[in-house]
Structure 1
Amino acid sequence: MKHLHLLKIGGFTLCVLASQVHAAVPADQAARLGADLTPVGAQKSANADGSIPAWTGGLPASTGKANADGFLPDPFANEKPLFVITAATAAQYKDKLTAGQLALFARYPDTYRIPVFPSHRTVSLPDKSLAATRQNALETQLVAGGNGLEHYHAGGIPFPIPKDGLEVIWDLIGRYRGDTLKRIVMQASPQTNGDFTPNVLKQELAYPTGMSDFDPKSQDNILSYYREEFLSPARMAGGVLLVHETVDQVKEPREAWQYNAGQRRVRRAPQIAYDSPAAEGLRTFDDFDLFNGAPDRFDWKLVGKQELYIPYNSYRLESPTLKYTDIIKPGHINQDLTRYELHRVWHLTATLKPGERHIYSRRDVYIDEDSWQGAETEAYDGHGALWRVSEGHATFFYDVKVPIFAAEVHYDLISGRYAVNSLHNEEKNSYTFNVPMSSKDFTPSALRVTGIR
């Protein structure tokens, strides 16, 4: 009996310790938000030599006004690169480049380059999101196994003061992207010679708390709703994808449906997840957004923070003066139109768990500390060889305080092809934030109405 009593005590202690592993931070740690840390948990101070400046609040909404077609002025249009990294000089900067960037220099030694500009910490989030972030710091926890959140306040960063890799990847998954968002963008998968067919899509993203019919009881496990409709080419027009992303993916996995305009049928789409192929097989579904969906098939390790040259303040890349053909080139996008800055990032490695299935054996993910948005990723095949490299060219809608991508690019080092999405240079009034939406807009039955042609 004494032995049994000790076992019970030991088991109780282990349970307590296990619950503390992913517990929220204590109040004295949460008080650092807005003090030595920014309100979302980034290091507020400059780096040692000042090449990364201190965060002073981000770009104000008064920085510029969108033109009649919805494009914001580039606050840094007159800046010139400090220097340009090429394949010949990459070795000099390798401590501030990722393995993926170095691989792109090796794959395209004559054309791939990284123009480095002065660093600007432009990102800030709305007060509503910052208030939710403070609550999350004190209350949000990971569910058992790390495949979901408990006590999460929508719209805020789940773990602004993270303790491990799982918390950091959930910060990317749950980061702020506006209450609701509607956009029209172009994606393409160019051939090796640069030829491409533009696919124009209407995409809608909504968080329950931003909806007119928000119900905290019925929607307590919904992280976000996503709907995507093909507008062109004609052979794909009218096809619609609907996704319900959940907060606790153990309790309820992601749900997805597809509407086929030719068949006029709505079908469940359980394959819209993990390593199912997308973009002509050039990326996986969980590559989108540099990572999305359930993180449960990988062990996530927090390597730490690094200073890296990452795509940032990419206003030039979304300029309305550019055509898609100006951007899309053989092998990679036109790097002369890109902008890279030195920033601090969280570096994660994700290793495939024993017994789990995925075409990637390992991923490296680099996440910007100010926006919690992905900046760079690397994916390795089953033999441990580097296979794919992704870059997120970040921009910031300073008028509504939403960080987003001007372009998201996924490079296949073996085939020499790539997939690019989120371009909107040739679209007018492409982005609309805080659009009135309700949960009825994101039901399977609503797909038939949306996709009729």
Structure 2
Amino acid sequence: MLRVFTILLLATCALQAHAKVDSAQAARLGQDLTPLGGERAGNAAGTIPAWNGGLAQPPANYQPGMHHPDPFSSDPVLYQVNSQNLAQYQALLPAGLQALLEKNPEYFLRVFPTRRSAAAPQRIYDATRFNAQAAELISGGNGVDGVAAGIPFPLPQTGQEAIWNHIMRYRGDQISFVTNQAAVLSNGAYNLLKLERDIYFLYGREGVTPQDLDNTLFYYKYKVVAPAKLSGSALVVQETLDQVLAIRKAWRFNRGERRVRRLPMLAYDTLQPDTNGMATADVVDAYNGAPDRYEWTLVGKQEKLVPYNSYAVHQKGIPYDNILGRNTVNPDLLRYELHRVWIVEAQLRKGFSHPYAKRRFYIDEDSWQVLAVDLYDKSGELSGVQESHPISYYDVPMFGSTLETIYDFKGERYFVDGMDNNEPMYNFNAKLTPRDFTPQALRREGN
């Protein structure tokens, strides 16, 4: 009898661990909830409006190929937050942003009216509603099964589900683009690194089934264009869905060696090249890769001041010197708004090593884009903050970051990626196939 009871108990626990949302909850998507699971209504104070579809169509003054005109350029600045009035707004700020203001008295946040501009194609909304009753975590939460497009867990019940929503959110079908990155040292010195990048997303493509994925999320490639001494070096990545089952495959072409090498590891705390030691592999896109080295906790939803509708820093022709200040990005080019965000905490598990022993993620309820991350070191001290400055790429439509930053408080330095102001705009209709992301293709790129 005891053995039967134990078996029944284990079976019940397994069902609870993989429980899906029932049909009544799923029916809320597109009703009192947005199609991706956010609260459709505004807040009681009226400082957050209702979501009414986001920016799903370009404004009249947009032409294909343009750096996206700011549809909210006439919005007034409601107020500024700085080190002098920080106490007044402290409850609304991520801890990392509070520290950034305290350490840089000349820095400030310009706060604008809240515009809920996030939007995605209708097929992504349809897939998300299906996923609510079909998606399940597998491999101890290190993979997701039963889905091929859309947000997998629009009504998350765990921290793992919420971070998977970020990892698997819609970012277009394929993109070719050119961006610049810079590691700005404590004395303000930096060198620009220009990259040509291609991404082919398999997850989220129209008509793709779970079987078609073959444990693959997307393919990624970059080639260094400048400076001249690094030009020609290139990297290609085949991003797996369950990276514990099969780690991401990565190959690098080194111009000096004139050969392609398979990288044994490009994940977790592996340092990215040319970032002055400020960027680990898993901070790209705020967080990427397997979640297995952290314990994830869904803290809940709160109202916070976060980067949003960052069109000003996205505009064509801005000199990169005007973006990169000595200690921070130019605050006159940034926009902050009050939004509801999911807060997820990640605590490093015993037996694993990482510069960030704890992270607190602030995830947009309307898009599942991570907007800010508090970074804590091994001693539990707040050591830095990440930010993603997003816009609605309304020509797709897709909501994603146009600029990403990491501030290292102890080193008094910061890293910026995504500057494209003097480059051709993203091409979301690039002619790419998986064959463009092989070691052989990488060798051709380097020659």
Q: TM-score, normalized by length of structure 2?
A: 0.96
Please say if 1:130 is aligned against 2:105. Answer: no
1:10-45 per-position Cα deviation (integer Å, ceiling 9, x unaligned): 224313322332332111111110011000000000
Contact 1:180 1:210 in 2 (8 A): no
| Equivalent residue number for residue 286 of structure 1 | 282
Q: Distance in 2 between matches of 1:213 and 1:450?
A: 30
| Equivalent residue number for residue 297 of structure 1 | 293
Q: Which deviates further from its counterpart, 391-400 or 239-248?
A: 239-248
Please say if 1:101 is aligned against 2:97. Answer: yes
Contact 1:241 1:256 in 2 (8 A): yes
Cα pair distance change 1:449/1:216, threshold 3 Å = farther
Deviation at residue 193 of structure 1 after TM alignment: 2.9
Q: Distance in 1 between matches of 2:207 and 2:154?
A: 29
- Counterpart among 256, 265, 268 of residue 262 in structure 1: 256
| Equivalent residue number for residue 436 of structure 2 | 441
Q: Secondary structure at the match of 2:359?
A: strand
Q: Distance in 1 between matches of 2:206 and 2:232?
A: 26
Deviation at residue 66 of structure 1 after TM alignment: 3.5
- Counterpart among 103, 107, 115 of residue 110 in structure 2: 115
| Equivalent residue number for residue 223 of structure 1 | 217
| Equivalent residue number for residue 35 of structure 2 | 39
Contact 1:212 1:437 in 2 (8 A): no
Please say if 1:196 is aligned against 2:190. Answer: yes
1:264-296 per-position Cα deviation (integer Å, ceiling 9, x unaligned): 211121331101122110121111111111111
Please say if 1:48 is aligned against 2:47. Answer: no
| Equivalent residue number for residue 228 of structure 2 | 234
| Equivalent residue number for residue 162 of structure 1 | 156
Q: Distance in 1 between matches of 2:154 and 2:212?
A: 27
| Equivalent residue number for residue 352 of structure 2 | 356
- Counterpart among 76, 80, 84 of residue 80 in structure 2: 84
| Equivalent residue number for residue 136 of structure 2 | 141
Q: Secondary structure at the match of 1:308?
A: strand
Which runs of no fewer than 5 residues in structure 1 stay unpaired? Answer: none
Q: Distance in 2 between matches of 1:184 and 1:144?
A: 36
| Equivalent residue number for residue 427 of structure 1 | 423
Q: Which deviates further from its counterpart, 113-122 or 219-228?
A: 219-228
Contact 2:203 2:216 in 1 (8 A): no
Q: Distance in 2 between matches of 1:125 and 1:40?
A: 9
Q: Which deviates further from its counterpart, 158-167 or 131-140?
A: 131-140
Q: Distance in 1 between matches of 2:283 and 2:441?
A: 27
Q: Secondary structure at the match of 1:277?
A: coil
Q: Secondary structure at the match of 1:129?
A: helix
Please say if 1:319 is aligned against 2:315. Answer: yes
| Equivalent residue number for residue 265 of structure 2 | 271
Deviation at residue 250 of structure 1 after TM alignment: 3.0
Which runs of no fewer than 5 residues in structure 2 stay unpaired? Answer: none
Q: Distance in 1 between matches of 2:4 and 2:384?
A: 49
Q: Secondary structure at the match of 2:285?
A: helix
Q: Distance in 1 between matches of 2:26 and 2:210?
A: 25
1:344-366 per-position Cα deviation (integer Å, ceiling 9, x unaligned): 00101111111122222111111
Q: Distance in 1 between matches of 2:11 and 2:224?
A: 49
Q: Secondary structure at the match of 1:414?
A: coil
Cα pair distance change 1:260/1:325, threshold 3 Å = same
Q: Secondary structure at the match of 2:184?
A: coil
- Counterpart among 369, 378, 385 of residue 389 in structure 1: 385
Deviation at residue 65 of structure 1 after TM alignment: 4.5
Contact 1:213 1:439 in 2 (8 A): no
Q: Which deviates further from its counterpart, 241-250 or 6-15?
A: 6-15
- Paired residue total: 445
1:46-88 per-position Cα deviation (integer Å, ceiling 9, x unaligned): 0011100000111241424444752121111122210011100
| Equivalent residue number for residue 201 of structure 2 | 207
Letter in 2 for 1:113: F
Q: Distance in 1 between matches of 2:225 and 2:305?
A: 35
| Equivalent residue number for residue 405 of structure 1 | 401
Q: TM-score, normalized by length of structure 1?
A: 0.94
Letter in 2 for 1:118: P
Letter in 1 for 2:412: G
Q: Which deviates further from its counterpart, 414-423 or 247-256?
A: 247-256
Contact 1:298 1:353 in 2 (8 A): yes
Root-mean-square deviation (Å) = 1.8
Q: Distance in 2 between matches of 1:40 and 1:218?
A: 23
1:93-146 per-position Cα deviation (integer Å, ceiling 9, x unaligned): 01100110111011111x211000000001110012112212211111000310
